[in-house]
Structure 1
Amino acid sequence: MVFFGEGVWPESKSFSDEGYGPIPSRWRGSCSRDVGGVVCNRKLIGAKFFNKGYLAFIGVALNNTFKTVRDHEGHGSHTLSTAGGNFVPGASIFGHANGTAKGGSPRARVAAYKVCWPPLVGGNECFDADIIAAFDAAISDGVDVLSVSLGGNPSEFFEDGISIGAFHAVKKDISVVSSAGNSGPDPGTVSNVSPWMFTVGASTLDREFVSYVQLGNNKQLKGASLSSVAMSSRTFYPLISGDKAKAADALAEDAILCQPETIDPKKAKGKILVCVRGISGRTGKGKQALLAGAVGMILVNDRKSGNEVIADPHLLPATHINFTDGNTLFAYINSTRNPTAYITPVETKFGLKPAPVMAAFSSRGPSLIEPSILKPDITAPGVSVLAAFTEFVGPTEDESDNRYDAVLFTIRNFNVMSSCFRIRDDTGNPMLDSSNKRATPFAYGSGHVRPNRAMDPGLVYDLTVNDYLNFLCARGYNQNLLSLFSVKPYACPKSYGVMDLNYPSISVSQLNGSMTVSRTVKNVGSARSTYKARVRSPAGVTVSVKPSTLKFEKIGEVKKFEVKFVLNKSNAKSEDYVFGELLWSDGSHYVRSPIVVKHK
């Protein structure tokens, strides 16, 4: 596996090569000459940095910080170890989440290709020139899987360096996995929407890090935290909200968010400061509380964030509560002259129900570039994941956070790679969004990862490079644009539509009356098997499958079927997407395709 991102902290135990044999001879990669002292081994078998695009944009010479693969901010090490980190017994963060840490593929060989650097004006930190150069290197080096935990605003395929580079990797039979992005929960925010990339959203685990708020009126509110310090036992402190503690020249709407220089220390000192989520970072709000002399902080979700609470390594006693409990908290503060509270120490708890739940930050579909391709493809654990970190900064990445000597692992929230899926939580009910509403395929794609099921899928939807080129032709790409993806001139078929792509999901964005879509599946399960179709039609749409039974006589046999959509205009709402599913089963395999429909 090769990972594009912010680099690696090679000394982490997640990248130990204990128990590994010689590096496979087919690997042609290497470690760059590195001023940061990055050394490879039989686990971390490659490390390179790519910065010419970044340097060209700046136009000035930079120091040695830009000549190393070493991870200076933590995200690169974290994503790399989450997907491919070795077994690490006794891992924890501040004494919590004790156990053995491991990646999704702990015995995989890994390599880190650094393509992202400190952000410039406008937020630019990963440049297409560097990303494409990294793709070229990875292809030449003989990688099997590429993980690209990067992404920006959705853009047309020919304008997207990740999309172009990924296409050339796929041509060499390299799987490319990418993040859906962190711009949720608004619709249409998903990035990395090319059909040749596997795009992954983020959802929760059944583990939580709990810290309660005990109110002076005996009510208790459940929160999440990884604060490394705790309050004096059972001592209640005065409560004050950010707007009530605002500095004289600050706006109340900024102070309630605990923005920098908006809190008056004379008002906040010795109290628990209440801050609302939004604009600035969560741990950054904790820093503002600490600077103002507060003894603790309660972070309250805004309406948009709903019930999603995140355990952060705050610099002071702090906890994060949901929107509903936040309303309870503010009602208490406003109902009494002297509100008080106590924040309990952090506890690790397992068996959380319901789980998984979609993360609010995970970017959502539909794809703004091509809505006939459902993105993300799946979702995987991406909230409060314990994995490797850098020792260059503390877990909040703030200059004042000097806990790096004690933190070799940390909890992060992000999107990672995996495959195969489910759409129900551990209570047996449909997966939920962070708002407690039923989640849709625009959040989770085909569902939450179930990697063991991927070893025996039964049926697969095959796609070739020519299929992808035909898809681009159907989108009106001329030879000039196609040349970005195909070195040789490509003859576009006379009749091919974007709906003809053999994608494992079916998304109809403009249903007017009726439409028929064809798909083919290959048998990779039992040689002799019979699959029967079951359909859950979207509201207001009738869906039928022909044939409804597929009989296979051998492994590798391919069968074609058609799915017909008929709009029931009396029940249709043109402004809404509606969802359903097609399920093929032989009694032991269950091959599910989500269905998404919107009509004109």
Structure 2
Amino acid sequence: MAAVSCVAKLGTIVVVLLSLVIMSSSSSNSDRRTYIVQMKHNEKPDSYLTHHDWYSASLASSTTGGDSDSILYSYSAAYNGFSASLDPDQVESLRQSDSVLGVYQDTLYHLHTTRTPQFLGIIDGQLGLQRQQQLNAASHDVIIGVLDTGVWPESRSFDDSDMPPVPTRWKGECEQGEDFKASACNKKLIGARKFAKGFRLAAGVISKEKESPRDQDGHGTHTSTTAAGRQVANASLFGFAAGTARGMAVHARVATYKVCWKTGCFGSDILAGMDRAIADGVDVLSMSLGGGSAPYYRDTIAIGAFKAMEKGVFVSCSAGNSGPAKASLANTAPWIMTVGAGTLDRDFPAYAILGNGRRLTGVSLYSGKGMGDQPLPLVYFYSSSSNNNNSNLCLPGSLQPEAVRGKVVYCDRGVNPRVEKGQVVKDAGGIGMILGNTPENGEELVADSHMLPTVAVGRKIGDEIREYLRTQGSNAKAVIQFGGTVLGVKPSPVVAAFSSRGPNMVAPQILKPDVIGPGVNILAGWSEGIGPTGLDSDTRKTQFNIMSGTSMSCPHISGLAALLKAAHPTWSPSAIKSALMTTAYTLDNNNSPLRDAAGGQLSTPWAHGAGHVDPHKALSPGLVYDITTEEYIAFVCSVGYELKQVQAIVNRANVTCTKRLGDPGRLNYPSFSVLFGKSRVVRYTRQLTNVGAAGSVYVVSAEAPPGVQISVKPKQLVFKNVGDKMRYTVTFVSEKGGSGDAFGSITWKNAGNEVRSPVAFGWERRI
């Protein structure tokens, strides 16, 4: 099973960027590791026909023992340079070369691992017949590239019936593999490639994995069908969430790039996938993977995404599953759409009925034979200083069969995957499991397709059950029952506890995440090469699976971006991002402010960004905050990096940083992150572009927290024509003695549109 961190599959796993010692498979070169070398692209001598020839010659002449065989990939579309297997002397020699911008050790990233079309309001008919027909036709020309674990091409979600020919601009291919035919692609799934050189060099061999684009993990099929899967009737996971499954951009094309393998996703392979996807001609890049808070010049995804943005490709990435911890975000670059996760209005109730008659509600996707109505003994192994075997967590090997055989076991959530805990209980002879949240998970309920009768409960109910166990001792009993699928759950959406949070520690003046989308208990296509739990012992086969994680919310936004690209083909990636952000909503279906599943309290922009996406409003946002490539470069020049580091990020060796923003917060971003330091006054200017109607007049309103004053000039913007640009200046003033975090908003309104920007305020250190 791949090391994915989707919450439904592996529990709440901290998503980290690991600096690895990547060993060569050659025993005679045990000190060699994989490095990514960034070159000064424009300095290639005319004597070399291609950049690859130049890279090979540079490696051979600048190092001892370096030759073209050492090169894994040559990059051109997403990056200027190559990756290679190098020893320490070669690395140092390359770093001294005038033609080299930087040499960086390869890094390992991990994956951040339907009702949603109805929940989002994008099923046929909800957008209006004429508008829907226009959007469907235009979507045929939009291509979504998904970097993930590959694809299961036989999925019904890739049916190409009635689709027109593939756009002639497409340069991709369907790559032949051991278990993957070139004919597996069609007019819907138009491309499939694999990238494994970095992983193969690190692992020596790809254990039990065939080198092909085929998805033996399930994650890649789930994300790609979420973004753009065709309509499939009678879809479900063993009867759960039954109905018609479909992705966000039903008529868009899909191209998959397999960059993730069993131990994760190596930066060299990710960069190769991005490089190829951009050259192939994708319009949207969907990447449900990431690392930690590395500086942008050391972040492979950030650098590749900059080049993609420059070429007009929209990049959507997951925020990570390290919540509810503060400052836990991945993929924080402002040219990336950073996506957090929220819940749906659909649930899968299950019940723990205790021996005292209490009927407590949780969730489950268990579909096998039930326990019946007869309560069985309930046991729990309390953790203590004298008992450090972690039996309370139900880790492998921690349960004694004589203590759990024929009983229901209460397990605490955390450390190992939730489905693995159930397997541990089953292997020890247990009949059922109650899985209880800890304070880190709060009241968040994530359903799993367990291998034995299981109910997952929130923290409060978990505390009640633990107290019942303490008082009843060996007399404690329980029975587990199941309630199927329930719709119309309130409140929803709720921010998922696992969704990573701000503030943005790489560039604190940029508020992240940008938005949240559906990411809890999502039904989508699945690989039939693996069971729904991903456990080796799970031999069940299903065409659809229900999963949770920011991995699931990311492709929702990728698909919506494809719809906006179809509706507005001339819009830049930043304009599309602005439309999705400024039209997002912050009230749930109870018409109350969004709440946080971690503790039930009100959510903040550190958790939900601008809010939950609203596709209807995003299609006609009225105004957008647009950002050019040169403005992004000015931003990077203002963050505090050395010139060589700036050149590495923007892939230009001739950048001089003559234009700076002064304060990175002056970037024309659709949200604000205001830091009060030595000065109690912060002033920013923004520019809005009219993409609505001629003769539009907007009036501003500001919501300020206690201790902060907000003033905006002018208070009215008049746009005579479509395409007109108008500036405004906002001044934030803090009272003396301000501290902590606070939040507000700035909204431009007219009769048809509200263009809202969240504002986060911080004083001194914010974590």
Asked if these proteins are the same fold (TM beyond 0.5), I'd say yes
2:416 — aligned with what? 280
Instruction: Kindly indicate whether residue 575 of structure 2 is the aligned counterpart of residue 432 of structure 1.
Output: no
How many Å separate the matches in 1 of 2:660 and 2:322? 37
How many Å separate the matches in 2 of 1:486 and 1:308? 42
1:70 — aligned with what? 214
**Helix, strand or coil at the partner of 2:262:** coil
**Helix, strand or coil at the partner of 2:324:** coil
1:503 — aligned with what? 669
1:372 — aligned with what? 509
Instruction: Kindly indicate whether residue 187 of structure 2 is the aligned counterpart of residue 42 of structure 1.
Output: yes
Letter in 2 for 1:215: L
Asked if the contact 1:539/1:579 (under 8 Å) is kept, the reply is: no
Instruction: Kindly indicate whether residue 297 of structure 2 is the aligned counterpart of residue 158 of structure 1.
Output: yes
How many Å separate the matches in 2 of 1:586 and 1:145? 31
Per-residue displacement from partner, 1:440-481 (whole Å, max 9, x unpaired)? 101111000111111100010000110110011112344422
2:487 — aligned with what? 350
**TM-superposed deviation, 1:559:** 0.5
Asked if the contact 1:250/1:262 (under 8 Å) is kept, the reply is: no
1:423 — aligned with what? 586
Letter in 1 for 2:167: P
| Aligned partner (choices 377, 399, 408) of residue 543 of structure 2 | 408
**Helix, strand or coil at the partner of 2:244:** strand
Report matched runs for 1:88-487 at 5 Å: 88-119=232-263, 125-243=264-382, 251=387, 254-337=390-473, 338-404=475-541, 407-415=542-550, 416=554, 417-418=556-557, 419=580, 420-434=583-597, 435-484=599-648, 485-487=650-652
Asked if the contact 1:96/1:348 (under 8 Å) is kept, the reply is: yes
Asked if the contact 1:215/1:340 (under 8 Å) is kept, the reply is: yes
2:170 — aligned with what? 27
Aligned residues between the structures: 586
Please identify, of 64-73 and 441-450, the stretch whose mean Cα deviation from structure 2 is larger: 64-73
**TM-superposed deviation, 1:57:** 2.4
Instruction: Kindly indicate whether residue 705 of structure 2 is the aligned counterpart of residue 538 of structure 1.
Output: yes
Please identify, of 225-234 and 467-476, the stretch whose mean Cα deviation from structure 2 is larger: 225-234
Higher helix share: 2
| Aligned partner (choices 740, 743, 749) of residue 585 of structure 1 | 749
**TM-superposed deviation, 1:334:** 1.9
**Helix, strand or coil at the partner of 1:36:** coil
How many Å separate the matches in 2 of 1:210 and 1:299? 14
Cα 1:61–1:315 change in 2 (3 A) is closer
Instruction: Kindly indicate whether residue 158 of structure 2 is the aligned counterpart of residue 15 of structure 1.
Output: yes
Letter in 2 for 1:102: R
Letter in 2 for 1:504: P
How many Å separate the matches in 1 of 2:671 and 2:471? 52
How many Å separate the matches in 1 of 2:377 and 2:640? 64
- Note the aligned Cα RMSD (angstroms): 1.7
**Helix, strand or coil at the partner of 1:283:** helix
Per-residue displacement from partner, 1:113-145 (whole Å, max 9, x unpaired)? 0111111xxxxx211111111111111111110
2:124 — aligned with what? none
Letter in 2 for 1:430: P
Asked if the contact 2:378/2:408 (under 8 Å) is kept, the reply is: yes
Per-residue displacement from partner, 1:331-369 (whole Å, max 9, x unpaired)? 222222511111112410011111001111111111111
Please identify, of 332-341 and 263-272, the stretch whose mean Cα deviation from structure 2 is larger: 332-341
Asked if the contact 2:148/2:260 (under 8 Å) is kept, the reply is: yes
Report matched runs for 1:539-554 at 5 Å: 539-554=706-721
**Helix, strand or coil at the partner of 2:221:** helix
Asked if the contact 1:84/1:106 (under 8 Å) is kept, the reply is: yes
Asked if the contact 1:538/1:596 (under 8 Å) is kept, the reply is: no
**TM-superposed deviation, 1:526:** 1.4
**Helix, strand or coil at the partner of 1:328:** helix
Report matched runs for 1:507-526 at 5 Å: 507-511=673-677, 512-526=679-693
Cα 1:250–1:116 change in 2 (3 A) is farther
Q: Which runs of 5+ in 2 are unaligned?
A: 1-143, 558-579
How many Å separate the matches in 1 of 2:746 and 2:585? 14
**TM-superposed deviation, 1:94:** 1.1
How many Å separate the matches in 2 of 1:251 and 1:335? 20
How many Å separate the matches in 2 of 1:318 and 1:349? 18
Letter in 2 for 1:548: K
How many Å separate the matches in 2 of 1:488 and 1:269? 66
**Helix, strand or coil at the partner of 1:449:** coil
Please identify, of 282-291 and 235-244, the stretch whose mean Cα deviation from structure 2 is larger: 235-244
Asked if the contact 1:66/1:117 (under 8 Å) is kept, the reply is: no
How many Å separate the matches in 2 of 1:340 and 1:479? 66
**TM-superposed deviation, 1:66:** 4.6
How many Å separate the matches in 2 of 1:55 and 1:256? 38
Please identify, of 412-421 and 316-325, the stretch whose mean Cα deviation from structure 2 is larger: 412-421
Letter in 2 for 1:8: V
Per-residue displacement from partner, 1:362-404 (whole Å, max 9, x unpaired)? 1111111111111110000000000011111111111111112
Letter in 2 for 1:187: K
Asked if the contact 1:207/1:352 (under 8 Å) is kept, the reply is: yes
Asked if the contact 1:378/1:421 (under 8 Å) is kept, the reply is: yes
Asked if the contact 1:538/1:595 (under 8 Å) is kept, the reply is: no
How many Å separate the matches in 1 of 2:471 and 2:373? 23
1:122 — aligned with what? none
Letter in 1 for 2:448: D
Q: Greater relative contact order (Cα 8 A, min sep 6): structure 1 or 2?
A: 2
Asked if the contact 1:81/1:102 (under 8 Å) is kept, the reply is: yes
How many Å separate the matches in 2 of 1:253 and 1:140? 52
Cα 1:203–1:62 change in 2 (3 A) is closer
2:656 — aligned with what? 491
How many Å separate the matches in 2 of 1:64 and 1:393? 13
How many Å separate the matches in 2 of 1:475 and 1:413? 34
TM-score, with structure 2 as normaliser: 0.75
Cα 1:227–1:495 change in 2 (3 A) is closer
Letter in 2 for 1:492: C
Please identify, of 552-561 and 476-485, the stretch whose mean Cα deviation from structure 2 is larger: 476-485
Identity of aligned residues (%): 41
How many Å separate the matches in 1 of 2:432 and 2:386? 21
**TM-superposed deviation, 1:31:** 0.8
Letter in 1 for 2:223: T
How many Å separate the matches in 2 of 1:196 and 1:503? 10
How many Å separate the matches in 2 of 1:293 and 1:131? 43
Please identify, of 440-449 and 487-496, the stretch whose mean Cα deviation from structure 2 is larger: 487-496
Q: Which runs of 5+ in 1 are unaligned?
A: 120-124
